[in-house]
Amino acid sequence: MEWEKILADSVQDGSIRELHLTRVPTLKTVENWDNVMPIGLIDHRSKHAHYKGGLVKYQEKIYFISDIKIDSLAKWINWKFPTTIKVIPEPEKKGKKE
């Protein structure tokens, strides 16, 4: 799928476009949490959602994981997110002026 290729390369230089972030699936459960690689923390409020948590890589794909899940798994997993990821907002569309 084309979006999977785009998402695999979407985090560059510690930033991600807001459009790409909205397409990142949420990681819910995995067989072995030790195979989940932390990429970076995110705290971004968009027009329709609040992304607070982190981006992780699992099986060569990027996923979002909420801060609540990160905290609940902290007893068993030593999360070491190497950076905070900056979200680049999409430019506002220019509408017709009345």
Structural domain includes residue 26:
yes
pTM value is: 0.79
Structural domain includes residue 56:
yes
Range of the domain at 32: 2-88
Q: What is the pLDDT of residue 53?
A: 95
The pLDDT tens digits for 46-95 are 888 899 999 999 988 889 999 999 999 999 888 899 989 988 887 776 66
83 token code pair? 């950076």
The pLDDT tens digits for 1-23 are 455 555 555 676 788 888 888 88
Structural domain includes residue 93:
no
DSSP 18-68: HHHHHHPPBP---S-GGGPEEEEEEEEE-SS-EEEEEEEEETTEEEEEEHH
**How many domains are contained in the chain?**
1
For residues 23 and 94, the answer to whether their CB atoms sit within 8 Å is no
Structural domain includes residue 97:
no
Structural domain includes residue 53:
yes
